[in-house]
Amino acid sequence: MIFCALLAGCDKNPTVIDDSPSAPAPVATAPLPEMLSGYHFQSADTQALQDDQFANPGMLWVDRGEELWTTAPQTGKPACAGCHNDAATDMAGVAAHFPKYNKSLDTVVNLEGQINHCRVEHQQSSPLVYESDDLLALSAYVGYQSNGLPIEVAIDGPAAPAFAAGQAYFYTRRGQLNLACNHCHEDNVGRMLRGDKLSQGQAGGYPAYRLEWQSIGSLHRRLRFCNVGVRAEPFAFGATQYIELELYLKWRAQGLPVETPAVRR
């Protein structure tokens, strides 16, 4: 097995599934001495593509999001701009704090969940389908307003249980290959796997345009891909398990800049 040949400590029998956590890192400190964005692990050409707003293909979704931001729904309720005015001002820094606890819903939501909550609660519209172009466009547009600002999420108070669950997920082996997230994104950072350089698995660039997708996609799309990679059953888009993991990943990236829309291989 290519995973077993690469990753130290992998069980010889990849069909054995051990769902116990594998040495979780202390909550109080970052698990790695230096946190590096996925940008650091890309080729110079891919980095240049992300840096150029005119060449970055993810900007097509940002532009679409701007249109949606100012378009009122058919329910007669205000457009997003009707409540939040100029996104460049009112939305600056917002994406850097998601996922976060939503008091009205009494749960932790990510940016996509908050957008849909606003649609239902304030626009009396149906929620957008997860991974639809419109939801990706709106989340990319809102995320873009925080581009370059440091990620900072709250993990205390009512968000604490979700954070603990997300951390446990990161260090829990799963799938037929019996691997946890940390086996790639901590233990083997910088090593090559099928032509890819393993990154730290930071999540500050999503929605991101991936060259292999030829499209923009959410973090949950990437998490599902990772589940399939270790031969584990993926959860649904927007699943609680992915929201919890997303909160842990954003905490893990504290201080790194938002890069929406990032470009990745």
Cα(59)–Cα(172) distance, integer angstroms: 35
Q: Are residues 39 and 67 in the same domain?
A: no
Q: Are residues 190 and 72 in the same domain?
A: no
Q: Are residues 158 and 232 in the same domain?
A: yes
Q: Exposed, middle or buried: residue 216 (CB in 10 Å: 0-12, 13-18, 19+)?
A: buried
Report the length, in residues, of the chain.
Answer: 265
Q: What is the DSSP string of 39-88?
A: GGGS-HHHHHHHH-TTT-TTHHHHHHHHHHHTPPPTTSPPPHHHHH--HH
Q: What is the tens place of the pLDDT at every residue in 110-161?
A: 999 999 999 999 999 999 999 999 999 999 999 999 999 999 999 999 999 9
Q: Which of 2-6, 37-41, 256-260 has the lowest mean pLDDT?
A: 2-6
Both tokens of 13, joined, read: 């029998």
What CATH number does the domain containing 213 carry?
A: 1.10.760.10
Phi/psi of residue 132, nearest 5 degrees: -75, 155
Q: Judge contact between 160 and 239, C-beta under 8 A.
A: no
Longest dimension (CA), the chain: 61
- pLDDT exceeds cutoff 90 at 32: no
Q: Are residues 73 and 163 in the same domain?
A: no
Q: What is the tens place of the pLDDT at every residue in 170-205?
A: 999 999 999 999 999 999 999 998 778 999 999 999
Q: Are residues 157 and 259 in the same domain?
A: yes
Q: Are residues 155 and 258 in the same domain?
A: yes
158: left (phi over 0), alpha (psi -120 to 50) or beta: alpha
pLDDT value for 54: 96
**Final residue of a domain: which of 110, 144, 178?**
144
Q: Judge contact between 223 and 245, C-beta under 8 A.
A: yes
Q: Are residues 132 and 253 in the same domain?
A: no
Mean confidence (pLDDT) of the chain: 90
Question: Bigger pLDDT: 97 or 32?
Answer: 97
Q: Are residues 87 and 157 in the same domain?
A: no
Cα(56)–Cα(210) distance, integer angstroms: 11
**Final residue of a domain: which of 127, 144, 161?**
144
Q: Are residues 85 and 6 in the same domain?
A: no
Residue identified by tokens 């001002």 is: 89
Which sequence positions are flagged as catalytic?
226
Q: Are residues 252 and 177 in the same domain?
A: yes
Q: Are residues 75 and 159 in the same domain?
A: no
Q: Are residues 18 and 90 in the same domain?
A: no
Question: Bigger pLDDT: 210 or 23?
Answer: 210
- pLDDT exceeds cutoff 90 at 16: no
pLDDT value for 30: 72
**Final residue of a domain: which of 144, 170, 202?**
144
Q: Which residues contact 88 (CB under 8 A, 6 or more apart)?
A: 145
pLDDT value for 194: 79
- In which domain, by residue range, is 40 found? 2-52+151-264
pTM of the entire structure? 0.89
C-alpha Rg value of the chain to the nearest Å: 18
Q: For the chain, what is the domain count?
A: 2
Cα torsion angle, 7, 1, 191, 22, sign: negative
